[in-house]
Amino acid sequence: MLDLKAQLLKAGLVTEEQVKKVEAEKAAKKKPPAPVDEGERWRKRLDELKAGGKSEQYDVIRGWVERHRLDNKTAVPSEQATRFHFAKDDGAIGHVTLEPDVHEKVAAGQAGIIAYMGHNGLEHAVVPADLARDVHHVKPEWVRSLAGLTDKHPSGGEQHT
């Protein structure tokens, strides 16, 4: 026995094109939705982290820093290392001592300086610029220096290093 589709075609009640159209519509309904854009998923994750508790924020950001920091907090600075000054959240001036290659990345906007909650209190680290922007989304007060974001003082002047 022929299926209904074949019987309708044989009887001339539907055309081959109509059958193909219905089959295509059925296949489209069965198809899973297209994957969500990776950037959209990451933004959603950042929003969830921002809305989450401090403990989770501290742990996640600390993990990011541990995996991606560009400076070496345990190394003895070389003779070429220089201080990079930045404004802290409370208006005080802080600094980190950076090797020339890392200093260059911060100055060029390829890296940023952030604060984060280390295991022994508030610490500072140099991280890639995209990571600094992610931290800014979650904890804006923790971004100390990032070209295009913190390079203007409220007075309108440039921040000097």
pLDDT in tens, 54-90: 999 999 999 999 999 999 989 999 999 999 999 888 8
Q: Is residue 77 part of a domain?
A: yes
Q: Is residue 24 part of a domain?
A: no
Q: Is a pLDDT exceeding 60 seen at residue 26? A: yes
Q: How many domains does the chain have?
A: 1
Q: Is a pLDDT exceeding 80 seen at residue 34? A: no
Query: What residue numbers bound the domain in which 90 lies?
Result: 38-145
d(CA 73, CA 9): 76
Q: Is residue 57 part of a domain?
A: yes
d(CA 45, CA 33): 20
Q: What is the pLDDT of residues 87-145, one digit of tens each?
A: 888 889 999 999 999 999 999 999 999 999 999 999 999 999 999 999 999 999 999 99
Q: Is a pLDDT exceeding 60 seen at residue 161? A: no
- In our burial notation (b when 16+ CB lie closer than 10 A, e otherwise), range 75-100 reads eeeeeebeebebeeeeeeebebebbe
Q: Is residue 18 part of a domain?
A: no
Q: Is residue 3 part of a domain?
A: no
Q: Is residue 81 part of a domain?
A: yes
CA distances in angstroms from 101 to 3, 70, 80, 107, 113, listed in the order given:
72, 10, 10, 10, 14
Quick count: other Cβ atoms within 10 Å of Cβ 135? 26
